[in-house]
Chain A
Amino acid sequence: MKTIKRYMRLYKVLIVQFFKVIMQSKVDFLMGLFGFFFTQITGILFLYLVFEQIPLLQGWSLEQLIFIYGFAQIPRSIDHLFTDNIWLVAWRLVINGDFDRYMLRPMNVFFQVIAEKLQPDALGELLVGSILVIHSCRKGIVVTDALHIGLFFVSIMAGALIYTSIKLFFASFAFWIKTSGPFLQVAYELADFAKYPTEMYAKGIQFLITWVIPFAFVAYLPASYFLGRGGFFGAGSSNVEVIGIECLIAGLFWCIAYSVFRKGISIYESAGN
């Protein structure tokens, strides 16, 4: 209990620092936010133009696809906001020996890595995601009973954890091969496939993004549950199992990623002589 309290206090100190940074460069912050915001908006415009031509896309309406798209942004942005520093582990910190400083302090190494930086640009993604989800709720296409709302937040947290785990897993390779940025990037960019219904992809890709690098469980599958569509385990099933599996995968991937990370730290050797 005492340790948790200590870490909470430390994190608060770091967050306060972070807000000072934002206040110092308001224009930079707003431009970064706008950049991410705008990128997502073009994705929505694309869907809008396509649906001028067709009424339904494989049985999905425009409103439903917008919800999936928006929902996908939320876990992604939460992970992006809190754990952006993992990218630096993959690209730079290990190869140039800067990782040393985490090893020297009497604190959990993973905590130090993620506490070092918050990524304010992610708020742009979070904003788009939230607007789209709220928009969908007002259109009445989302199931909004207590169970669904509760599971909504569970699913977002589990989704963010899946993102973090995938990032940590691939970043940890850096301890063996010094820089693992490109591998991390390949894995991370696969998330692009999960913004749309998975059924439209070739079987191989479907399998890959559902079970190997499970981005489908972050976005499309839970989103279709909140839209009240069953069918993952055959028509008629309530599909609530999807959220359960999502949590299970999140837990499992986290354990794997974290133990790889721990193993990596134990063999870490600094750069130079």
Chain B
Amino acid sequence: MRRKLRIYLPFALNEMKRQMSYKGAFYLFILISTFSSFVSYFLWMAIYGSTDRVMLGGLTKEEMVVYIFMVYVTGSIVSISISDWVSDDVVKGTVAMNLIKPLDYRLSLISRALGCSVYNFFVPSVFIWIGLEIYKVNVLGMPVTGVWNVVLYIISCIMSFLIFVLFDFCVGMIAFFTNYIFGLLMVKEALLKFLTGALIPLSFFPEGVRRVFDFLPFSSMVYTPVMLYLGKYSMAELEFVLARQAIWVVLLYLLGSLIWKRVTTRLVVLGG
């Protein structure tokens, strides 16, 4: 364990340093990344303004504000797109270098993603989170989120992170079969935004569709931690959603190992 940490920790630290080196454009990119949250904020305010009902999809207007911005916070910690790195490595052929080193390729990618995630947590997510809590108490008049919910949220987020990167690793494997993965990654992004609940809370979907979502890993990526944060689950549901997340971590880990074994036996790298 200790040895593993010594080997893979530098991957995470390196990634953090790399992120920190692009300071110039950096503030502008943070600004851009919050645009879509603000668009959906105004959109949802208009939606709630157009109806007499207090709750839509099981959420009040105030809870929806928390939902929108916690989706941003969660997304920036959880959704680290490692399939971009995989496709980069495959297209350039550098994946061969990773195969001859005594390293677990997937573990090194996940370590890099962890570095990214920690970095994203400090800039800017944690500030948005604090800002949101202040706004929540002072403007929306809601109580501060309890310690218990925050703890559950963090535990859930860690599993979400693992589910996301393990899933994304499997997606990245497609790069071994086609050169042009850009279009595919766009589809993935749109699909994930929709299925994870980042675009609209999953409770807005019809009952039948929700039943299907229960069997997919996507709701465990963003929707579950945010709903935990909002305290929307009963005790029994709580155990169920956390157990489901844990099961997905294991399943996706096994699936990734299987695909990786298959793929590397047929890999051809030219030159080098």
Contacts and interface: CB of A to CB of B under 8 A. Distances in A.
Instruction: Give the interface residue-count category, chain A.
Output: 35 or more
Interface in B146-197: 178-180, 182-187, 189-191, 193-194
A182 B31 CA distance: 10
A57 B50 contact: yes
Interface stretch (A110-118, A148-156, A183-191, A239-247): A183-191
Contacts of B50: 54-58
Contacts of A192: 35-36, 39
A189 B35 contact: yes
Contacts of B186: 32, 35-36, 38-39
Interface stretch (A196-204, A224-232, A251-259): A196-204
Interface string A157-198: 000000000000000000000000111011001101100110
B28 A35 contact: no
B180 A28 contact: yes
B191 to A, nearest CB: 7
Interface residues of B, number: 40
Main secondary structure of the interface of B (DSSP, over half): helix
A57 B184 contact: no
Contacts of A273: none
Interface stretch (A42-50, A80-88, A94-102): A42-50
Contacts of A52: 204, 206
A244 to B, nearest CB: 28
Nearest to A198: B42
B183 A28 contact: yes
B186 to A, nearest CB: 3
B25 A200 contact: no
B49 A196 contact: no
A27 interface: yes
B187 A25 contact: no
B236 interface: no
B182 A186 contact: no
Contact of A200 (B45, B190, B194, B204): B45
B23 to A, nearest CB: 11
Nearest to B36: A192
A34 interface: yes
Given A42-B199, A57-B47, A183-B28, A35 B39 contact: no
B130 interface: no
Contacts of B43: 196, 200
Contacts of A201: 42
Contact of A49 (B179, B187, B200): B200
Contact of A31 (B24, B28, B183): B183
A53 interface: yes
B56 interface: yes
Contact of A53 (B39, B57, B190, B193): B57
A134 interface: no
Contact of B199 (A46, A186, A202): A46
Given A31-B182, A38-B186, A181-B25, 17 more contacts: A27-B180, A31-B180, A35-B183, A35-B184, A38-B190, A38-B191, A42-B190, A46-B194, A53-B51, A54-B47, A58-B50, A182-B24, A189-B32, A192-B36, A193-B39, A196-B39, A196-B43
17 contacts: A32-B182, A32-B183, A34-B183, A35-B183, A39-B190, A42-B191, A45-B194, A46-B199, A53-B57, A54-B51, A56-B50, A121-B183, A182-B24, A182-B29, A192-B39, A196-B42, A200-B46
10 A-B pairs with the lowest CB-CB distances in the bound complex, closest first? A31-B183, A35-B186, A28-B180, A35-B183, A200-B46, A182-B25, A182-B28, A32-B183, A39-B190, A54-B51
